[in-house]
Amino acid sequence: MKRAAALMFLALAACQGAEPVRPVVATIDRPRPVANRDDLLKSVALRKVAELDRAAFRAVSVEVWGGRALLMGAVVKPEQRRRAEQAVRDVTGIAEVINELVLAEASQLDRYVLDFSREEAVRHHLNADAKSGLIVRVVNGVAFLLGGGSPDSAPVLKADAGEVEGIKWVVAHIVPSYESKP
């Protein structure tokens, strides 16, 4: 009896200090063939950008979800921003390009690489595992969310992701379905 009471006390004490569990915001998961196609499009888009000038575009990342490409990171010149967008737009199968590239000094480009540890922290905070219908990327303290969900899910995801330590800003590109645009 004493042992059961002690175990219950320990369980309650552990729960009090635990982080509250957030409800999972409904996201739309892509069917495996669509996800595979997006992965292939991402690879081709990254290669096309790197072929422009590997050093100048070293801080550029690309993600693709449902045929929509998201460009993240930094370049030095506005012309490079346009060229990267055009290179991705020219990839057969890319229906839309969202250009979130910023301009930075050449000496600062290394700050714009993907931050995998913060990405994991955001995923954990959102209760979004790697298989959910949401891509999470963090670049220089900015969390980018790309995926599918209900129209009201973007503000919730954006607010929740912004609570993670080290996240300065959240950009959410959430669409109501995984279908590519015509």
Q: Is residue 102 part of a domain?
A: yes
Q: Is residue 101 part of a domain?
A: yes
Model pLDDT, residue 7:
39
Model pLDDT, residue 176:
78
Backbone angles phi, psi at 62, to 5 degrees: -135, 140
Model pLDDT, residue 1:
47
Model pLDDT, residue 181:
45
> Residues near 122 by Cβ (< 8 Å), separated by ≥ 6?
136, 138, 143, 161, 164, 167
Model pLDDT, residue 148:
86
Model pLDDT, residue 5:
43
Q: Is residue 141 part of a domain?
A: yes
Q: What is the mean predicted confidence (pLDDT) over 63-70? A: 95
For residue 98, what is the domain's CATH number? 3.30.1340.30
Model pLDDT, residue 130:
60
Higher-pLDDT residue of 22 and 124 is 124
Model pLDDT, residue 8:
45
Q: Is residue 19 part of a domain?
A: no
Q: Is residue 59 part of a domain?
A: yes
Judge whether residue 151 has pLDDT over 80: no
Handedness of CA 148, 153, 156, 160 (dihedral sign): negative
Q: What is the mean predicted confidence (pLDDT) over 20-45? A: 79
Q: What is the DSSP string of the chain?
A: -HHHHHHHHHHHHHHHHSPPPPPPPPEEPPPHHHHHHHHHHHHHHHHHHHHH-TTTTTTEEEEEETTEEEEEEEESSHHHHHHHHHHHHTSTT--EEEE--EE--GGGGGGGSB-HHHHHHHHHHHT--TTSSEEEEEETTEEEEEEEE-TTHHHHHHHHHTTSTT--EEEEEEES-SPPP-
Q: Is residue 57 part of a domain?
A: yes
Model pLDDT, residue 178:
54
Report d(CA 138, CA 69) in Å as an integer. Answer: 16
Higher-pLDDT residue of 134 and 60 is 60
Q: Is residue 169 part of a domain?
A: yes
Backbone angles phi, psi at 24, to 5 degrees: -75, 125
Model pLDDT, residue 175:
85
Q: Is residue 104 part of a domain?
A: yes
Tally of domains within the chain? 1
Range of the domain at 93: 26-175
Model pLDDT, residue 4:
43
